[in-house]
Structure 1
Amino acid sequence: MILVLLLTTFLAILIVRQYQKARKFPPGPTSLPLIGNIHQLIYYCWKHKGVVPAFDYFRQIYGDVFTLWLGPIPHVSICDYETSQEVFVKNGNKYKDRFLPPIFEHVSGNLGLISANGESWAEMRRFALGAFRTMGVGRDLMEERILAELDARCAEIDADAVNGKTTVHTSEFFDLTVGSVINSVLIGKRFDSHNKDEFLKLKGLLDSADEMFTMFDLTVPVWLLKKLCPGRYALMIEAQEEIINFVSREANERYEKVKSGEYTINSEDPQDFVEAYLAKMEQEAEKGITNLYTMECLKHVIGDLWLAGQGTTATTLVSGFNQLVNHPEVVRRCREELMRLTDNGSRPLNLKDRAESHYLNATIAEIQRHASILNVNFWRYNHEATTVKGYPVDSGSVITAQLGALHVNNDIFKDAGKFYPERFIEDPKLSNQVIPFGIGKRSCVGENIARSEIYLMIGNLLLRYDIKPHGAMPSTEDKLPYTAGKLPDKTVKLEFCKL
């Protein structure tokens, strides 16, 4: 009897303490001691068939700002643009540190861009943005790289054509095209016949790891993941290390050539990111500063840039073409606009055409809204007590703009499940609320590269080819709605018919 009484008292104390802590945060489902809302999140993910629909359900019940407790840690989700802008842009310095998934932190050692915080992250971000500007990102030099790569891939398509028609596995096509662009920017080499098989093998390994990556993996300690799911742990580690080693191989080789005098760095006009970084290493060494710019750090920086720049852009393009072949009327309107802008296709679409390609811009915004790569966005630390949309948010929590739920918010995007580019023509300001690259201090460093790739590749492919389904119409549904990232139907083959 005494034991039961003690246990009851203990549980009552835990429940009261949990209630008192929950009062210091925005509303959310009633949480339990120790496990928080994990049981409810699992249930509503199952009931609504995915993570994003579950978040959207919580948004409808509790408002655009709500709290979920994943174990003992409160997670505050923001699902509207205005509040996200207020928190992460106007007050961005308060939320610079990312709540790092233990498995990411284990691999990176707080180096790089994605899985790092503090001085190292801030310095690498500043350097990367400056290096990209020097290399012409957002200007003609970047456009030339993208169009040259697209021309090379289209030449391969045309060489395989039968009666002007080629069957294309779009996932492989965009993986190679986007991967080659980012590889040339980072290390000065594109993918061709001699190395593309190695790349596709590594990409397959990465995709396999991504397909199993869930909220469980975002939060569980590494030791527990290794003990409970050794196969899962091994695959994730192998995928990340293989990709990092692959993209850093050229950097290491060039570094050795610089040391031996075989290679001279051009600091004024670097040919790629690695050269810009090695030039910075020399400058820092001359000043006697060697703690930030190291080869180990470079390995993780270019690994992060490659992983983020290749995967998200290629996935968006695959998702986009799955949508386009399901909506031929959208393709027709895009092509009419493209033909008008390019004098009936007598020249390629260029970045300077953006100001006049209103319908294509709207179509790309709708593609990005639907593709919305992250089902669960990366969290930021909240180091001090604050207020978000009138709600108290105590220190010690984590907070994020939940992009997946924001992009399906019916209060912002009417009939959000519909693919309807015209919504951005009817309300041009609506495009500002599509934020696939994140918001604030931790937004994507390679956003300008990705925007240029998506615009030029979609526009010029529609200008060159009539694209139709090969067999059944591709699905536009997320194939892995319970994982941390979205996955479009990557089995699709489309028919590219030269115009």
Structure 2
Amino acid sequence: MELLGATSAVLLVCIACLLSFTAWRKRSGKGKMPPGPVPLPILGNMLQVKPKDLARTLQKLSEKYGPVFTVYLGSEPVVVLQGRDVVKEALIDRADEFAARGRMPIGDRANNGLGIIFSNNEEWLQVRRFALSTLRNFGMGKRSIEERIQEEAEYLLEEIAKTKRMPFDPTSMLSCSVSNVICSIIFGNRYDYKDKKFLALMSNMNNIFEMMNSHWGQEKERANSHFHLKNLITSTFDLFIAGTETTSTTIRYGLLLLLKNPKIQEKVQEEIDRVVGRSRKPCVADRTQMPYTDAVVHEIQRFISLIPLGLPHTVTKDTHLREYVIPKGTTVYPLLSSVLYDSKEFANPEEFNPGHFLNENGTFRKSEFFMPFSAGKRICPGEGLARMEIFLLIAIILQNFTLKPVVDPQELNITPTLSGTGNVPPVYQLCAFPR
């Protein structure tokens, strides 16, 4: 009986696999869904992809299946776009067709379809437009934002100075510094780095509800309006998260790369001394006169590929892409790391090299492959603020301090601790020596 039961189980598994293979053959191919590895029942392709190294695994699969292919994460198909050409074709050239946000369980639970990041359709258009307009009114893209960043940098420098050349982990102070910039924009206030309420806000986003200004909900009587209090709170949550974690993590990872490459740090400091000097803070206007520093900042963002898969998109109707058809509702991942690591555009992409963004004569070289903020209609709305912060804070820190590792630079580990949907630098310490 036991042998019969085991045989029946194996037979059922074989039948299920056969049916799954048959269904997969019918669904994929020219004029159908993009090709990809054969999925198993229930598991899909989970045995062929590594969740902790998803981007690299998908990159490897593209070598076999091409720039547009399908993988099954469980029972759900996901279409992956690999390389600049097809990512541009989808997100920029055909932006309307690929503008919808793909489903993410964490977004469903946290935002319930509200806010900016995970919303769709008319609701997304209205809330995004309102957010951008409000941020511009608060000074986004203007000198007042630059001054806020410079002012916050002073507090950051004070915190670094307090370490008195002793080893420290820069995570908390960088998070507080970057967060204070977005707080000053959204809440009209900055907070001391040791402030308990501020630290609670950093660790528990529920405090956002307590700090909301009640007048943001004054359109609430309009039954069909998207500008009700809950949506405005969720939108603020999105701005707070997006305006803190991504930027502070980029800077933290950038400082680690500079510790690993002290000669690059030295060249940045030489350029700062030559262009800005020590008597004033670097400003955005200096950027055009600081091509090497600008290249270093771009290379940091390229090299770390912070969000390697970008955020998911979806198609709201059956959509033809090249020789395939992507069915309505299918999740689409633009593999941003494949664009940032394109070897035809960036020689030796696995190497951290500011020369990737420099011409032979030393001037800054723009690249259409630079897509750390994604592209098209779903490009990060805070791109301008983030780029300003990353440039100014790194430049101001290096203007005032020389950063040194607590171990030999060659021993520093720069491999991300998470490399599935986000690349986070390993924990490290540094010493800051006043210049």
Q: TM-score w.r.t. structure 1 length?
A: 0.78
Deviation sequence 1:417-473 (CA, Å, 0-9, x none)? 100110111386563312111111222111111111001001111111111113454
CA contact (8 A) 2:104 2:312 kept: no
Higher helix share: 1
- Which of the numbers 416, 420, 423 marks the counterpart of 1:486? 423
Match of 2:237?
303
Return closer, same or farther for 1:412/1:391 CA change in 2, 3 Å cut-off. Answer: farther
Matched, 1:29 2:37: yes
Match of 1:174 in 2: 174
Cα distance in 2, alignment partners of residues 59 and 412 from structure 1: 18
Equivalent-residue separation in structure 1 for 2:307 and 2:87 (angstroms): 16
Determine helix, strand or coil for the equivalent of 2:141.
Answer: coil
Q: Is the 8 A contact 2:201 2:208 kept in 1?
A: no
CA distance in 2, matches of 1:300, 1:10: 43
- CA shift, 1:101, in A, is 1.5
Structure 1 position 63, deviation (Å): 2.6
Q: Of 192, 200, 207, which residue of structure 2 is paired with 1:246?
A: 207
Query: In structure 2, what residue type is equivalent to 1:362?
Result: A
1:51 deviates by 2.0
**1:18/1:33 contact within 8 Å kept:** no
Per-residue deviation at 1:183? 1.1
- 1:467-486: CA deviation from partner (whole Å, max 9, x where unpaired): 111345442111123x4321
Give the letter aligned to residue 144 of structure 1: E
How far the C-alpha of 1:10 sits from its partner, in A, is 6.6
Deviation at 1:396, TM superposition (A): 3.7
Instruction: Write the distance in 2 (CA, Å) between the matches of 1:467 and 1:182.
Output: 26
Q: 1:361 aligns with which of 271, 294, 299?
A: 294
Cα distance, 1:10–1:353 mapped onto 2, change above 3 Å: closer
8 A Cα contact 1:477 1:489, kept in partner: yes
Distance 1:495 1:37 in 2: 45
Residue 246 of structure 2: aligned partner: 312
CA contact (8 A) 2:309 2:333 kept: no
Give the secondary-structure state (helix, strand or coil) at the position aligned to 1:401: strand
- 1:435-450 alignment runs, 5 A limit: 435-450=371-386
The corresponding residue for 1:20 is 26
Q: Cα RMSD (Å) of the superposition?
A: 2.6
Does residue 351 of the first structure (1) align with residue 284 of the second (2)? yes
Q: Does 1:38 align with 2:41?
A: no
- The SS at the match of 1:77 is strand
Seen in structure 2, the aligned counterparts of structure 1 residues 411 and 75 have a Cα distance that, compared at 3 Å, is: farther
* In 2, Cα distance between equivalents of 1:91 and 1:460: 40
Distance (whole Å) between structure 2 residues aligned to residue 156 and residue 385 of structure 1: 54
The equivalent of 2:186 in structure 1 is 186
Deviation at 1:97, TM superposition (A): 1.8
SS of 1:36's equivalent?
Answer: coil
- Provide the C-alpha distance between the structure 2 equivalents of 1:461 and 1:8, rounded to a whole number of angstroms: 61
**Residues 192 and 37 (structure 1), Cα distance of their counterparts in 2 relative to 1, 3 Å cut:** same
Any idea what the Cα deviations from partners look like across 1:161-203, whole Å, max 9, x if unmatched? Answer: 64xx3544211121111011111111012120562x4444554
Matched residue type, 1:15 = F
Does the Cα contact within 8 Å between 1:325 and 1:469 map onto a contact in 2?
Answer: yes
Q: Is the 8 A contact 1:335 1:462 kept in 2?
A: yes
* Residue 495 of structure 1 pairs with residue 431 of structure 2: yes
Name the structure 2 match of 1:454.
Answer: 390
Taking a change above 3 Å as real, the CA distance of residues 191 and 290 of structure 1, as seen in their structure-2 partners, is farther
- What does residue 303 of structure 2 align with? 370
The answer for unaligned runs of 5 or more in structure 1 is 206-241, 259-277
Distance 1:15 1:132, change over 3 A: same
CA distance in 1, matches of 2:299, 2:172: 23
**Contact 1:56–1:409 under 8 Å retained in 2:** no
Structure 1: which amino acid aligns with 2:385?
I
Structure 2 CA distance for aligned equivalents of residues 292 and 395 of structure 1: 25
**Alignment partner, residue 413 of structure 2:** 475
Distance 1:8 1:55, change over 3 A: closer
Q: Secondary structure of 2:332's match? A: strand
Q: Give the superposition deviation at 1:363.
A: 0.7
3-state SS of the aligned residue for 1:432?
A: coil
CA distance in 1 between partners of 2:146 and 2:252 (Å) = 21
Instruction: Please give the residue correspondences for 1:98-177 in structure 2 after superposition, counting only pairs within 5 Å.
Output: 98-158=101-161, 160=162, 162=164, 165=165, 167-177=167-177
- Residues 20/290 of structure 1: CA separation in 2 closer, same or farther (3 Å cut): closer
